[in-house]
């Protein structure tokens, strides 16, 4: 569970990131979960987007994808959301203390 200070720190980092996961009309598939999990392991911070054709809204997609990947939802704005999961082997992002 992230504190508000940690969320603010992660939001500032995510501001400059590109959107790398897109959720379309198929919703959250097994392939989407696998792609997101791999991206989280490599980057720790992933920005996602829900396309207009999708039946999900951004909040529901964020919650579902976070649950399936074991990540924390950082922020949801409009059709975009940000997920964070620390790499257990070698964390690249050092969070502020709680």
What structural domains does the chain harbor? Answer: 4-84 (3.30.110.60)
Q: What pLDDT is stored for residue 38 in this prediction?
A: 95
Q: How many CB atoms lie within 10 A of CB 48?
A: 24
pLDDT digits (tens, 9 = 90+) for 16-67: 999 999 999 999 999 999 999 999 999 999 999 999 999 999 999 999 999 9
State the Cα–Cα distance between residues 70 and 24, nearest whole angstrom: 21
CA-wise closest residue to 42 among 52, 54, 34, 50:
34
Global pTM value: 0.93
pLDDT band at 4 (very low <50, low <70, confident <90, very high): very high
């Amino acid at each position: 569970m992230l504190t508000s200070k940690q969320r603010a720190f992660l939001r500032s980092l995510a501001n400059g990131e590109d959107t790398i996961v897109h959720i379309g009309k198929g919703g959250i598939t097994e392939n989407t979960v696998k792609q997101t999990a791999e991206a989280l392991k490599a980057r720790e911070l992933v920005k996602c987007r829900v396309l207009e054709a999708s039946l999900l809204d951004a909040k529901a997609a964020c919650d579902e994808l976070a649950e399936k990947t074991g990540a924390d939802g950082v922020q949801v704005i409009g059709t975009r959301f940000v997920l964070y999961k620390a790499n257990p082997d070698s964390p690249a992002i050092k969070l502020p203390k709680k």
